[in-house]
Amino acid sequence: MKAISRKIRAHVTEESDNGRVPMNHSNKDGKLFAESEEGRPLIKENIRQPNTYPTQSEKRVSQGLMNVRKAARGNKEMKFTALLHHLTVDLLRESFYSLKRKAAPGVDGVTWQEYETGLENRLVDLHGRVHRGAYRAQPSRRKYLEKPDGRLRPLGIAAMEDKTVQQAVVTILNQIYEEDFLGFSYGFRPGCNQHQALDAMSYALLKKKVNFVLDADIRGFFDNLDKSQLVKFVEHRVADPRILRLIQKWLNAGVMEDGKWSETETGTPQGAVITPRTQKITSVLIVP
């Protein structure tokens, strides 16, 4: 395994945004903290108990991913060369059931309910194609969402199989990057929400000397993201070529709009399951 030089504090608590709680870390006093240096307990309603897995297969999947997390926590310079074997049929099943039931379909036109019919056979076939390298990402279906100021935000709706595989890869990557993210980073994090961010800001304003609050936004971040640079960021921690190829397939799948396919030379589709995670990976690796 190759190494890189980085010093980034680990996030100390996380939950899954689909209701599953991989694990909670505690400090020496047994209390949960948003950031160890801050010394402030999380608000009560944000503290949840670890999940108990109902089946033996899910328990095995979880144990394997927890080993990845443990390795990531123990060595901040480790590059993970073997990750795809954690993408199992069980993880694909979990990933499918974590998706929104009423989400709009992608270019395949397949809804969540339709894909659930004959699910086990579908997942076995999908798992085989992913591991053989025969899986092909489909283009995202372009849809526009109107912003409060009247501008249109382009969204990319992925096909059902792409959503499922993306969610599985996100679960795997979370085991690594949740150990790298700063504790006061709340955006697009499993178990982190706007209420916790407001709670942390409220504490800082009341208890610490604050001269100003900066509200900043990168205009068109997702649309203008350099895809090659994004992959390089991921390679700081992930050296499994099969995982990297999956990410590149999604980045290069293009979009379908009014029945016409177009290539996206830059950017990553907003609305994709994998997109928020890649944004946070980019953020954590440019922290000085």
How far apart (Å, rounded) are the C-alpha atoms in residues 246 and 253?
11
Q: Would you say residue 226 has pLDDT above 70? A: yes
| Contact (CB, 8 A) for 76 and 69 | no
| CA–CA distances in Å: residue 6 to residues 9, 44, 75, 78, 285 | 10, 33, 11, 10, 9
Tokens (6 digits) for 165 = 């595989």
How far apart (Å, rounded) are the C-alpha atoms in residues 254 and 170?
20
pLDDT digits (tens, 9 = 90+) for 255-287: 999 889 988 777 777 766 766 655 555 554 444
Q: Would you say residue 1 has pLDDT above 80? A: no
More confident call, 52 vs 60: 60
Least reliable range by pLDDT among 27-31, 131-135, 151-155, 272-276: 27-31
Residue 225 has a pLDDT of 80
How far apart (Å, rounded) are the C-alpha atoms in residues 181 and 161?
28
Q: Give the residue among 228, 195, 241 at the shortest CA–CA distance from 80.
A: 241
Q: Would you say residue 38 has pLDDT above 70? A: no
